[in-house]
Structure 1
Amino acid sequence: MTTHQDTTPRADCASDADGRITFRLTAVPDGRPRLLLRPRPRKGRPEQAPLHLDLAPDAADGRPHAVLEPHPALAEGRWDLYLLPEPGADPQRLRPGLRDLRALVDGQLRDRPAPVAVRIPYVTKDDFLALRTWLRTAHAEARSLQAADGTITVAARLHGTDLDESATARLRLRGTDTVRDVRPRIDGDGRDFSFTVAPRDLADGAAPAGRVWDVFVRPAAEAPPVRLGRLLDDVADRKHVHVFPAITAEGSVLRPYYTVDNDLAIEETPADSPK
């Protein structure tokens, strides 16, 4: 009986609270290896340059390791990791080893300065190591969401800027310039806020045939809207992890959900639409 051993290189990784990530190869390759972080192309976005990291032997066990420092921040998107065995060699995709993300779990408890930069190591569907990154001027982190009694109530904290008394929660109808503003309740130090949305807040006399509203907060009357989502923990892809109940009221069904970018949105459909 012949067995085939997987020779694809693997790397352990560990994140710290400042966004620093340390990668350690699980085996010691020959040559002069380096790590390559290659951004995936994004439709309608300029192409980003890849990033190279030098590997050096660890003083404790001799395993090659590389450190991705918090600065400069990586562009928003997904970055695939490769091993370059030596200069001029073909890159090899890295398989995941151990991932230590404990420092990210309570990341929503720490205030982030502008720009808000986030990076989360994760495993792709085809079992390779990658990074999910966000880079935003400011960010509103959803802390809790309750869908009950015909309304949706969201509690969040703003990072990278402050709210003033003219702040509004804004829902934008996807694909249009149509917006609905809701007055938030501002608490504590002027960064914690909450707001409640009911079907009447979105009504315009038209049947809500499968509409989607993207959720923002506008920190001040003349300030640009800040996207609201959940980025500050260890979950790289949230859409199918956090699933919320829908509410039915006033002839409409509202279903909050996280998008593929971990941003918050609300789907609106007629209450009598087919299941």
Structure 2
Amino acid sequence: MTRPAASTTLTTAAGGEQLPPRADCVADSAGTVTFTWEGSTAGGEALVLRRRGAGTGPDGAVRLPLIERGDGRVGAVLSGSVELAEGHWDAFTGDGTAVAAGVRDLRALIDRVPETGRVTVRLPHPMADGRLAVRSWVREPHAEAGDIEVEPGAFTVAGVLHGARIGAGARVEARLGDKVRGFAVTGEAERFRCTVRYADLAEDTGDAAEGSAPVEQRLWTLWLRPAAGDASEVRISRILDDIWDRKDIYVYPAHQAAGYRAGPRYNGANDLCVQLAPLV
């Protein structure tokens, strides 16, 4: 869509250079995100969210009509009822101009308690270059990681299961390719607790002949099976707050185990993992 020259959502720098719109965001606990910036709607303009890696298919873009606010600003609303597939969504104006991240009010997301078993999270955030994006998670059921206690040789994670209940024979599974290692879970109802032992994972890497040195870093992913025989596979993550990428923020002590330094960590999707790095 071509934007009429008489009305634009771009701002202008002192030297006459046009700058991308800088959108402020407010997120609520129901999954609604409201965007506002200075400008005009100008003939059907929209805020467009595009999912990275999705191409041009029907699930790759969401158009949000702009609304005049009457204070020299326009707004767009991503309603909690709008489906937004899990992934990274980049923000653009209707003509393809990237939107910059402004002030973000995410207070309603802190210590959020979902009302249903289907957990949806929409978290606006700045990219490294200042562009605005929305990180979306869709989980049903969902295992939310809480406190993590680290000790030599192991760590214990406590969490809350949304959309299912802990039953007899529940366990946490650590997975590395086709390798699976199980650890017993204690708890009841929606609460769970599990201790993961590093030595069990180091012995199961299958690097080379016995006695040889480990050759590469290993990252085991953690899943919860709510009960014995339950076909559900619930990824253990921490997404119910205002942190879109916690891998470099939540850093835990590592300990030596069978030739590795091992410890819990979050990946870029806020999923809980166990990292084993060779000693050097």
**TM-score interval for Structure 1 and Structure 2 normalised by the shorter chain:** 0.7 to 0.9
Q: Which deviations, in whole Å up to 9, do the C-alpha atoms of 1:223-274 show, x marking residues without a partner?
A: 222110111111111111111110224554312111121111112245xx20
Change (3 A) 1:241 1:260: same
Letter in 2 for 1:72: V
- Corresponding position of 1:69: 79
Residue among 200, 217, 224 paired with 2:224: 217
CA distance 1:261–1:62, shift in 2 (3 Å): same
Aligned to 1:133: 136
Match of 2:265 among 257, 260, 269: 257
CA spacing shift, 1:50–1:249, aligned 2, 3 Å:
closer
The one-letter code matched in structure 1 to 2:175 is R
Of the structure 1 ranges 200-209 and 111-120, higher mean CA displacement relative to structure 2 is found in 200-209
- For structure 2, the 5+ residue unaligned runs are 1-13, 208-213
**Match of residue 200 from structure 2:** 201
Structure 1, unmatched stretches of 5+, are 85-89
**Contact (CA 8 Å) 1:39, 1:49: kept in 2 or not?**
yes
Output one character per residue of 1:119-162: Cα deviation in whole Å (capped at 9) or x when no partner: 10000111111100111222111111121132211111111221
1:228 aligns to what SS in structure 2? strand
Q: Given the alignment of the two structures, is residue 182 of structure 1 paired with residue 183 of structure 2, yes or no?
A: yes
AA at the equivalent of 2:23:
A
SS at match of 2:187: strand
| SS of aligned partner of 2:200 | helix
Q: In 1, distance between residues paired with 2:204 and 2:130?
A: 46
Whole-Å separation in 1 of the counterparts to 2:38 and 2:261: 50
- In structure 2, distance between residues paired with 1:217 and 1:247: 24
Residue 35 and residue 182 in structure 1: after superposition, are their counterparts in 2 closer, same or farther (change >3 A)? Answer: same
2:244 aligned to which of 230, 236, 243:
236
* 3-state secondary structure, aligned to 2:108: helix
Deviating runs (4+, > 6 A) in structure 1? none
User: CA–CA distance in 2 between the matches of 1:162 and 1:62?
Assistant: 50
Equivalent residue number for residue 87 of structure 1: none
d(CA) in 1 for partners of 2:266 and 2:204? 24
* Inter-partner Cα distance in structure 1 for 2:205 and 2:108: 48
Find the residue that maps to 2:168 and give its secondary structure: coil
Instruction: Compute the RMSD of aligned alpha carbons.
Output: 2.3
Aligned to 1:48: 59
- Contact 1:212–1:267 (Cα < 8 Å) also in 2: yes
Letter in 1 for 2:183: V
Shift of 1:62: 5.1
The farther-off stretch of 259-268 and 29-38 is: 29-38
Checking the alignment, whether the CA contact within 8 Å between 1:26 and 1:97 is kept in structure 2 is no
Return the letter of the residue paired with 1:153. T
* Equivalent pair of 2:41/2:68 in contact (CA under 8 Å): no
* Contact 2:38 2:72 (8 Å CA) reproduced: no
Change (3 A) 1:67 1:29: closer
Q: 1:266 aligns with which of 233, 249, 274?
A: 274
1:92 aligns with 2:92: no
**Equivalent residue for 1:23, pick from 10, 35, 47:** 35
Question: Is the contact made by 1:112 and 1:160 (CA closer than 8 Å) also made in structure 2?
Answer: no
What's the CA shift for 1:27? 3.1
What is the Cα deviation at residue 170 of structure 1?
Answer: 0.9
Match of 1:34 among 17, 22, 46: 46
Letter in 2 for 1:141: E
Whether the 8 Å contact between 1:145 and 1:154 is mirrored in structure 2 is yes
Shift of 1:113: 2.3
Displacement, 1:112?
4.8
User: Could you tell me how far apart the structure 2 residues matched to 1:212 and 1:98 are?
Assistant: 35
1:227 aligns with 2:235: yes
- The number of aligned residues is 257
